[in-house]
Amino acid sequence: MIEPRPEVRALPAYRPGRPSGVAADAMQNLAANENPWGPSPRAVAAWRAWDGGSTYPDMAGQMLKEVLEKRWGVPPAALLLGTGSGHLIKCLSEAYLRPGDRVATVHPTFSLYAHGARLMGAEVAAMPGTGASVDWGALAGWVARHRPRLVFLCTPNNPTGDVAPRAAIEAVLAALGDEGLLVLDEAYRDFAAAPPDTVSLAARHPHVALLRTLSKVYGLAGLRVGALVADPSVIDAVGRVREPFAVSAPALAMGRAAVEDEAHRQWVVEAVQAGRARLEAALAERGWAVNPSQGNFAWAAPPAGDAERWQRDLMARGILVRWGGSFGVKDRLRITVGTSAQEHLLLAALDAVAASRREKQAGGGPVG
Ligand SMILES: Cc1ncc(COP(=O)(O)O)c(C=O)c1O
């Protein structure tokens, strides 16, 4: 057997919301923060019309960058496309981290920031928190103390759902040395009510980068398209690391059509915001502690704190949700906002599990 690098041996494997081998339609998957309505019909039509495959895609993805420029106000020189934003997290880590460097982030948050750091032999300084929400105001002090090379902030944060206020972002930036880069992962930005204008911040500041994705609001998680928005010097460095033809030709074509369909994006945003409000209210009515979320998911603790058991009981009824234990928060679940049909199934399953527990308790049997 050939031994991998020690950093690689120590890496935890990524665990997807839907376990491998379980068909996408076998369960109601509310564990992966996908868009349950899917992409714009225009994107589906672009996929059907695509007939290539023997030639390499445009390496820069210029046609997609042009529509992203219109949508986000970011010039193509400040954009780099990747095979999902998860891929770009790894590329950023490879481009900037040296063994012994430090990466600052918060707890709990998306696992790939720590993964990229560990891959490169860097240390992770995750600011501790309650697990329910993030104390953004404390972050600048944390960054000043740890002198990180990279800071990864997820906003809205996965899994807590809260948005980093502009003042906290600017304070982190002020605390970051000249050798540091602040990366704001905005995978769920579209679902937030009033997120701060980060594009203008990145345009003014070479030490700020943004990560965005077509996986969530545009419903293209299966295609793998993400984007880095940054100063051209950062785009150049990360572009040298990224493999040359990272985004496939059909993904570029479908991505372009999806981004052009602004009406569909708005429709998805409204559906998520309304569904999130209903889901959070329904959970609160059932006695769950809910941290108000700005993402396409709820972050909630069942009344008795037995979140892992809830996850198992819901799975037995065909509904996948994410146990907070995978984020180091054992008493919470992260539940993706689904279609209204999925919402009804979820609430029926929650009530059925609660009723079966009450019956067992009344009968003096084991609670399960
Ligand atoms: C915060 C965050 N960033 C990035 C990603 C990865 O997105 P992509 O599909 O673009 O790799 C996810 C996926 O769930 C996420 O939650």
What was the pLDDT predicted at 282? 98
Q: 139 — phi, psi (to 5°)?
A: -70, -35
Atom of ligand 1 nearest to the CA of 87: 11
Tell me, yes or no, whether 83 and 24 share the same domain: no
| Mean pLDDT by groups of 10 residues along the chain of 368 residues | 90 76 80 96 93 89 97 98 98 98 98 97 97 97 98 98 97 93 98 97 97 98 97 98 95 97 98 98 98 97 95 95 96 98 97 94 67
Residue 156 CA to ligand 1 centre (angstroms): 12
Q: What's the CA gap between 90 and 82, in Å, rounded?
A: 10
Tell me, yes or no, whether 351 and 247 share the same domain: no
Q: Whose CA is nearest to atom 3 of ligand 1?
A: 187
Tell me, yes or no, whether 94 and 70 share the same domain: yes
User: Checking DSSP bridges between strand 28-30 and strand 319-323, what pairing results, if any?
Assistant: parallel
Q: Does the beta carbon of 221 sit less than 6 angstroms from any atom of ligand 1? A: yes
Residue 130 lies in a domain: yes
Atom of ligand 1 nearest to the CA of 154: 1
Specify the CATH number for the domain of residue 102: 3.40.640.10
Q: Does the beta carbon of 82 sit less than 6 angstroms from any atom of ligand 1? A: no
What was the pLDDT predicted at 347? 98
Residue 104 lies in a domain: yes
Q: Does the beta carbon of 327 sit less than 6 angstroms from any atom of ligand 1? A: no
User: What end-to-end distance do the CA atoms of the chain give, in Å?
Assistant: 44
What was the pLDDT predicted at 365? 60
CB atoms within 10 A of CB 4: 10
Q: Does the beta carbon of 186 sit less than 6 angstroms from any atom of ligand 1? A: no
Tell me, yes or no, whether 60 and 29 share the same domain: no
What was the pLDDT predicted at 25? 73
Q: Any idea how long the chain is?
A: 368
Tell me, yes or no, whether 180 and 285 share the same domain: no
Which of 235, 261, 287 is a domain's end point? 261
Tell me, yes or no, whether 161 and 230 share the same domain: yes
Range of the domain at 199: 41-261
Q: Does the beta carbon of 154 sit less than 6 angstroms from any atom of ligand 1? A: yes
Which of 228, 261, 294 is a domain's end point? 261
Atom of ligand 1 nearest to the CA of 88: 11
Specify the CATH number for the domain of residue 353: 3.90.1150.10
What was the pLDDT predicted at 271? 98
Residue 89 CA to ligand 1 centre (angstroms): 9
Tell me, yes or no, whether 76 and 180 share the same domain: yes
Q: Are 288 and 302 in contact (CB under 8 A)?
A: yes
Helix (H) or strand (E) holding 276: helix 262-285
Residue 288 lies in a domain: yes
Residue 278 lies in a domain: yes
Q: Does the beta carbon of 160 sit less than 6 angstroms from any atom of ligand 1? A: no
Residue 1 lies in a domain: no
Number of domains in the chain: 2
Which of 229, 261, 293 is a domain's end point? 261
Contacts of 295 (CB under 8 A, 6+ apart): 33, 156, 157, 158, 161, 188, 191, 192, 276
Residue 367 lies in a domain: no
